[in-house]
Amino acid sequence: MSNQLKPYADRYVALNGPGDARPTALQVLKDNNLVNQLTGKVALVTGGTSGLGVEVARALLDTGAQVFITARNLEKAQAVVDNLAKASQGSRKLRVVEMDLNSIESVKKAAKDFLSKSDKLNILVNNAGTKTNDGFEAQFGVNHLAHFTLTALLLPALPSSSTPDFNSRVVSVTSNGHRYSPPNWGDINLEKAYDPWMAYGQSKTANIWLTNYIDRVYGSRGLHANAVHPGGSLTALQKNLPAEMMQQWGSDPAMGAIMQLPEQAAATIVWGAVAKVMEGRGGKYLCNCGVGDEATDVMSILDPGYAPHAFDVEGENRLWELSLKLADVKIEE
């Protein structure tokens, strides 16, 4: 019998590339008996028009919840809405909130727009990743600061929507790439010496620290938060990597083996968002559709585990205060 916090551990032992034995997001729902069981709940997924965001939205729709996605391109968003409506024979409706993660002001407007459409929020999935032109280092600005802003402005709706049988949840997509670097406090925009992997590492560490802080501060009020490393898949973000790196990865059998279909990569995100065993649990680093462990080989991209600096109360508190100032946000209690 598998550990209840690592229910699919045996599926992640002998990896064989996209479509192998690793679970899909829909399989996670079925295993938790959650198909059409979350009617009345409300979920918001950022970056819901491509890659993992579409698959997460698709799965959450299958729970019966009302699902919102954020989108910068409304035409593209409408195509996703139409496609998912067709797949469910029109029985479920996906709603769209316009938001450009490149702009903090757009994020603030989106939060206000969402709250005008729904006074409830049970599940927030911070999924999107892109670049910013707000004056902040690109990856820190979007991967962390934009999602921090959205989460902070939606905080009043999350604890108030919590119920005894389903505490509200925040799931933030991170990466084992957080191991490259914690935040560089002396040069958060990396203006002195820019390194793209250090930039990525500090932004992904920030994702983890955000969820740790939220869970620690709001857990007693029925809001829990976890960070998710979804594992390898060819998302639009990876397509922006240098061609030589993608070629190197493509010719590496070990890299090919860890790659997944989008619906498989979305599985851990969905597990964090709805799995019954995660009820009331937070402040965890999730990978392989379970609670993750500390990495045994921090230099290997094949190791999904977390670095020791992923859990740092002092750093989490400091990042929270810095983010409030950078985003010019006040938390409404």
Active site residues per annotation = 200
Q: Indicate the SS3 state at residue 232.
A: coil
- Helix 196-218 with 313-327: angle, nearest 10 deg: 100
- Residue 64's region, left for phi above 0, alpha for psi from -120 to 50, else beta, is left
- The tally of CA atoms less than 13 A away on the side-chain side of residue 33 is 2
CB atoms inside a 10 Å sphere around CB 195? 13
CB atoms inside a 10 Å sphere around CB 202? 25
The number of residues in the chain equals: 333
Give DSSP secondary structure letters for 53-92: HHHHHHHHHHTT-EEEEEES-HHHHHHHHHHHHHHTTT-S
Strand ranges (DSSP E) for the chain? 42-45, 66-71, 94-98, 123-126, 168-173, 223-229, 285-287, 290-291
Query: Quick one: how many helices (H) and strands (E) in the chain?
Result: 12, 8
Question: Could you give the CA distance from residue 211 to residue 295 in angstroms, rounded to a whole number?
Answer: 19
Question: Could you give the CA distance from residue 130 to residue 291 in angstroms, rounded to a whole number?
Answer: 26
Question: Could you give the CA distance from residue 97 to residue 111 in angstroms, rounded to a whole number?
Answer: 9
